[in-house]
Structure 1
């Protein structure tokens, strides 16, 4: 008898919601960080870097767990364009969850800024110092943050569409309880 997976595992749901909170916090901290030159800048920067590395680690763990545990199938009656959109949006989300922290780390490395996290944890630079590379990476990080926010909003809209309009069980696969 085949066991059909109808929900994400408890670990997958926990990782999803922890990361959702972290990513939203990260986006708003980033906005606050680039809009201030006051004394709040340094604590925001340290929080942003620490949260970015935490999201990178959690995204890698999440990918491993998804590879091992799998995912529930999409509804059989879901139109092919929606299936493709779901697949591509998840690829984009994972690419940004992994890519944004790496770009930020590379950007700080290229500027020769120390990468110091909460608790005084120091990360090694991953690129040599280069002003032009720093500028390019800063622009990439800045504009990809807007793309990330937009993709998160599309993801949220799709979840609500499945939960409130289609009522096809897709939203429930990531919620606890019945």
Structure 2
């Protein structure tokens, strides 16, 4: 059986979640700057734009750290009573989240720093996909907590996953 999540894994999970939420909340500033940039207009300094670029890079680094921690320490097994289809959906959701959390900062950086329209369009599509997967992840956790009563949410509260 895999080990419980470590304090580092739990901290990275919640920090990445917080930073991604901030990226969505601050999206309008970067979207407006991108439109100006696409039209060849000058972009005045905006701390929200700088923050978006900075947080994107930080999320990228933190996701790499999280992957390294997962490879080193593993992850708790899914509840045995969970149907195979739900286990597969959970695994695919997690894989999709990791892929998007890496691909989004890369596509954003390529779009922003190299003025690449295709990367910008891909970034925008991934923004919608990431939001959908985050919502699926949250719904899955709530379903486990309140319907299946497996208490999987406790695993991301403290190391060892005890409530």
TM over 0.5, yes or no?
yes
The answer to whether structure 1 residue 160 and structure 2 residue 154 are counterparts is no
Tell me which residue corresponds to 1:124.
Answer: none
TM-score by length of 2: 0.85
Q: Could you say which structure has the higher helix fraction?
A: 2
Once the two structures are superposed, the pairs formed by residues 20-169 of structure 1 within 5 Å of their partners are 20-34=17-31, 42-111=46-115, 134-169=116-151
Q: Deviations 1:49-81 (Å, cap 9, x if unpaired)? A: 000000000000000000001001111111111
SS in 2 for 1:168: coil
| TM-score, length of structure 1 as denominator length | 0.78
Instruction: Note the C-alpha offset of 1:40.
Output: 8.8
Q: How many residues align?
A: 152
Unaligned ranges ≥5, structure 1: 112-133
Answer whether contact 2:63 2:98 (CA < 8 A) is retained. Answer: yes
Q: Distance in 2 between matches of 1:63 and 1:104?
A: 20
> Is the contact between residue 2 and residue 75 of structure 2 (CA under 8 Å) also seen in structure 1?
no
Q: C-alpha deviations, 1:88-122, integer Å up to 9, x for none? A: 001110011111000011112322xxxxxxxxxxx
- Secondary structure at the aligned position of 2:26 is classed as helix
Is contact 1:59–1:97 with CA below 8 Å preserved after alignment?
yes
